[in-house]
């Protein structure tokens, strides 16, 4: 009887959850469709880009626009610049966020909560507010028109500190106290206990930072004046002419810009989901 009851309950449970599945399917399609549309424009031919509704895979599809992009701009140099800027920004953000979050989570000092709330309050401010002060600072440091000038103002962020503080707070204080009783210093507790136990959060923060720094446009375009230093997000705009623009070449450049980020997310998806699961608890 129990098996029969379970067999009858399964379809009813599926029907009850069917609206949820349909909603998730619709949201997934809404997220994926812009990329598919851009890819369709990049591989298409003729005037199908102006068709409505646009086809997902146009007739006469080919890859010649990707080859044209490679010939039109120094794509390899732009890719290296993006890799340099994004990689250093990600490593710097992980280091600064972890080092700033550890004392806020595991050390006791006067004004600790006030410092944390002041950091969180900066999330309410748009990043553009800091452009003038950041630009003046890097100019006085002699870092104007350098890739390092793009990286340095971006490595300290409130979101990373908040996420890593939450990660360190999940580590039981008993483990930290036991390590200190065995003679471990704060640096040893941080390096040998807190960091290894927070790898999913570090992976999540690293993916977020990598995606953001790979796609950011405004700040690199303000700092960099030499075209050879442009990242992909800025260099792809060379495909837009002053009087005419090849929509398909711009779409092909956008697809080439997105592909490395998709590859990183696919490789690190397991750590990303584990970090997100812990972050929402």
Residue 163 lies in a domain: yes
Establish if 18 belongs to a structural domain. no
**186 or 52, higher pLDDT:** 186
> Which range scores top for mean pLDDT: 47-61, 79-93, 233-247?
79-93
215: domain CATH number is 1.10.3720.10
Report residue 18 as tokens. Answer: 């069917």
Task: Determine the 3-state secondary structure of 245 from DSSP.
Answer: strand
**Residue 168: predicted pLDDT:** 93
Average pLDDT value for residue range 272-277: 58
Is the pLDDT confidence value at 64 over 50? yes
- pLDDT of 66 > 90? The answer is no
User: What pLDDT score does 149 carry?
Assistant: 92
**pLDDT band at residue 43 using 50, 70 and 90 as cut-offs:** confident
Which range among 45-54, 133-142, 183-192 shows the weakest confidence by mean pLDDT? 45-54
User: What integer pLDDT is reported at residue 1 of this predicted model?
Assistant: 47
Residue 210 has pLDDT above 80, yes or no: yes
**Which of 56-65, 220-229, 238-247 is most confident?**
220-229
**Cα separation, 105 vs 123, whole angstroms:** 19
Q: Which residue has the tokens 């080439």?
A: 256
Residue 175 maps to a domain: yes
Residue 19 lies inside a defined structural domain of this protein: no
Read off the pLDDT of each residue in 248-276 and give the average, rounded to a whole number. Answer: 76
The two three-digit tokens of residue 19, written as one number: 């609206």
Number of domains in the chain: 1
Residue 278 φ then ψ, to 5°: -75, -30
The parent domain of residue 242 ranges over 64-279
For residue 34, being part of any structural domain is answered with: no
Is the residue at 74 inside a domain? Answer: yes
| Predicted structure pTM score | 0.81
Q: Quick check: 148 pLDDT over 90? A: yes
Structure tokens at 97: 């966020």
Based on its alpha-carbon atoms, the radius of gyration of the chain, rounded to whole angstroms, reads 24
Of 164-178, 226-240, 265-279, the least confident: 265-279
- In-domain check, residue 25: no
Q: How would residue 160 be classed by pLDDT, with cut points 50, 70 and 90?
A: very high
Residue 262 forms part of a structural domain? yes
Q: What is the separation, in whole angstroms, between the first and last Cα of the chain?
A: 38
């Amino acid at each position: 009887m129990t098996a029969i009851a379970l067999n009858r309950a399964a379809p009813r449970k599926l029907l009850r959850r069917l609206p949820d599945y349909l909603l998730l399917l619709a949201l997934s399609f809404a997220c994926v469709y812009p990329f598919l549309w851009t890819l369709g424009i990049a591989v298409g031919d003729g005037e199908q880009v102006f068709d409505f509704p646009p086809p997902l895979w146009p007739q006469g599809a080919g890859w010649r626009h990707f080859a044209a992009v490679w010939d039109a701009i120094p794509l390899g140099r732009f890719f290296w610049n993006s890799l340099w800027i994004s990689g250093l920004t990600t490593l710097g953000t992980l280091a600064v966020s972890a080092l700033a979050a550890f004392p806020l989570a595991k050390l006791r000092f006067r004004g600790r909560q006030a410092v944390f709330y002041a950091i969180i309050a900066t999330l309410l401010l748009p990043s553009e507010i800091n452009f003038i002060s950041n630009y003046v600072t890097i100019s006085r440091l002699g870092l104007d028109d350098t890739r390092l000038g793009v990286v340095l103002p971006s490595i300290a962020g409130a979101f990373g500190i908040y996420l890593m503080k939450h990660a360190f707070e999940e580590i039981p204080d008993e483990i930290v106290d036991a390590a200190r009783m065995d003679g471990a210093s704060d640096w040893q507790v941080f390096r040998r206990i807190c960091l290894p136990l927070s790898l999913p959060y570090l992976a999540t923060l690293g993916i977020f930072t990598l995606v953001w720094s790979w796609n950011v446009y405004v700040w690199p375009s303000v700092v960099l004046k030499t075209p050879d230093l442009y990242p992909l997000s800025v260099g792809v705009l060379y495909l837009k002419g002053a009087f005419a623009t090849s929509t398909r070449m711009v779409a092909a450049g956008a697809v080439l810009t997105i592909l490395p980020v998709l590859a990183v997310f696919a490789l690190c998806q397991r750590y990303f989901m584990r970090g997100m699961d812990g972050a929402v608890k």
